[in-house]
């Protein structure tokens, strides 16, 4: 019987199992091809000062850890997740004082700069912008390569088993303790089960009479290609952002749509995103995007994830509900989960994420 079984093969599931060191990882589709693949990879909430201390604690720990994680994965697998410190410009914010106070309180460098200064770094910027806040330390991670590196390092671990295209049909619980999971391949026993299935996690808890407030929230992205260095820094205005990759690809996103589990890209969203591209980086809008896709975020109240024991079911754990900041909070979330499961001193206070305080009976 494996000690640990993680349900969900995204970055959260992969990092959870990596932190635990052994066990089985089940993925209903292909490894790291849902929200973990579809996101932009900014290693910061879009507007970090608007979030609760619970989100901030996970985000800051992860930001500081990401370079170490990338170096470790690159060294182990030869696959570089490309954690790249490009910095981020917030353009024409309505309340700069709040953002600056947040940065000062958390020891993060944030500077007020003029639009002239921004254009020296980002010549393609739209002419309507007047000012910006600049945080030079913000990085982005090339999340598809992060997924590839995590898959490679887990497959190299003889104490880990990865199973793709293995959907969990239901949990087996008897006498208040989880026994394992039922899949189309049969029953898999496990002493400890971690649900980290993103937007699909709530569906697994319903048969147990538990209501998990996590729902799919669709986000659509566009991808452009320019020469490397055309865009040197990330830029963000009115919730839309552009992210440069090292090879010249530029991600632009994203939408926020409550459409259930439908992740079909739409022409309406593409047109809306293109209008934002034309405003933010007019020269980029002169060419057609080379990619357009959609993913499903695991939406949750206030964006605070559920990390910890499921009340009333011994051996069942959650690590889910990261909403828009799964990649941002993943390293800290998974380290915290492993600390709790292995009985270690937790890296941060686990109380704000405790499922026992936020789950409800159906």
Q: Is the pLDDT of residue 241 over 90?
A: yes
**pLDDT tens per residue across span 7-57:** 999 999 999 999 999 999 999 999 999 999 999 999 999 999 999 999 999
- pLDDT category at 336 given cuts 50, 70, 90 is very high
Residue appearing with tokens 């696959």: 79
Same fold for the domain at 4-45+145-214+301-361 and the one at 88-136+215-299? no
**Among residues of the chain, what percentage have pLDDT more than 70?**
99
CATH class label, 88-136+215-299: alpha beta
Would you state the structure tokens that stand for residue 323, as one six-digit string?
């909403």
Region 121-137: what's the mean pLDDT? 96
- How high does pLDDT run on average in the chain? 97
- The pLDDT value given to residue 362: 66
pTM to 2 decimal places: 0.96
Pinpoint the alpha helices (H) of 231-306. 267-280
**CATH 3.50.50.60 assigned to 4-45+145-214+301-361:** yes
222 neighbors 40 (Cβ within 8 angstroms) = no
- Please give the residue that has the higher pLDDT: either 95 or 321: 321
**pLDDT tens per residue across span 268-303:** 999 999 999 999 999 999 999 999 999 999 999 999
Would you state the structure tokens that stand for residue 163, as one six-digit string?
């199973």
Three-state secondary structure readout of 141-161: CCHHHHHHHHHHHHHCCCCEE
- The pLDDT value given to residue 1: 39
Region 154-177: what's the mean pLDDT? 97
- The pLDDT value given to residue 27: 98
Domain boundaries, the chain: 4-45+145-214+301-361, 88-136+215-299
Checking 356-360 for CB contacts under 8 A at 24+ apart, the result is: 356/308, 356/309, 356/311, 358/213, 358/301, 358/306, 359/205, 359/210, 359/211, 359/212, 359/306, 359/310, 359/311, 360/210, 360/211, 360/213
Pinpoint the alpha helices (H) of the chain. 11-20, 35-38, 53-77, 96-105, 115-121, 143-155, 201-205, 267-280, 326-342
């Amino acid at each position: 019987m494996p000690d640990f079984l993680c349900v969900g093969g995204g970055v959260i599931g992969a990092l959870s199992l990596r932190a635990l060191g052994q066990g089985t990882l089940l993925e209903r589709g292909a490894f790291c091809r849902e929200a973990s693949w579809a996101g932009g990879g900014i290693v910061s909430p879009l507007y970090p000062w608007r979030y609760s201390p619970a989100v901030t604690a996970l985000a800051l720990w992860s930001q500081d850890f990401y370079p170490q994680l990338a170096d470790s994965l690159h060294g182990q697998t030869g696959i570089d997740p490309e954690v790249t410190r490009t910095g981020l410009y917030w353009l024409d914010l309505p309340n700069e004082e709040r953002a600056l106070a947040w940065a000062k309180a958390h020891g993060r460098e944030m500077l007020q700069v003029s639009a002239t200064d921004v254009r020296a770094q980002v010549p393609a910027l739209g002419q309507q912008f007047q000012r910006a806040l600049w945080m030079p330390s913000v990085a982005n991670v090339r999340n598809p390569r992060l997924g590839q590196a995590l898959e490679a390092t887990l497959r190299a671990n003889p104490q880990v088993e990865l199973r793709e295209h293995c959907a969990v049909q239901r949990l087996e619980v008897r006498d208040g303790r989880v026994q394992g999971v039922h899949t189309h391949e049969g029953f898999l026993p496990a002493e400890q089960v971690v649900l980290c299935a993103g937007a699909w996690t709530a569906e697994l808890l319903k048969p147990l009479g538990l209501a998990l407030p996590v729902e799919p929230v669709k986000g659509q992205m566009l991808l452009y290609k320019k020469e490397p260095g055309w865009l040197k820094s990330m830029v963000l205005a009115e919730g839309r952002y552009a992210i440069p990759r090292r090879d010249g690809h530029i991600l632009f996103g994203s939408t926020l749509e409550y459409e259930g589990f439908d992740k079909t890209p739409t022409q309406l969203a593409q047109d809306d995103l293109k209008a934002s591209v034309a405003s933010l980086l007019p020269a980029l809008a002169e060419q057609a995007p080379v990619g357009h896709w959609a993913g499903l975020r695991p939406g949750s109240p206030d964006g605070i994830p559920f990390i910890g024991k499921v009340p009333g079911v011994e051996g069942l754990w959650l690590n889910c509900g990261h909403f828009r900041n799964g990649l941002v909070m993943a390293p800290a979330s998974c380290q915290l989960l492993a600390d709790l499961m292995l009985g270690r001193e937790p890296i941060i206070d686990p109380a704000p994420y405790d499922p026992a305080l936020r789950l409800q009976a159906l």
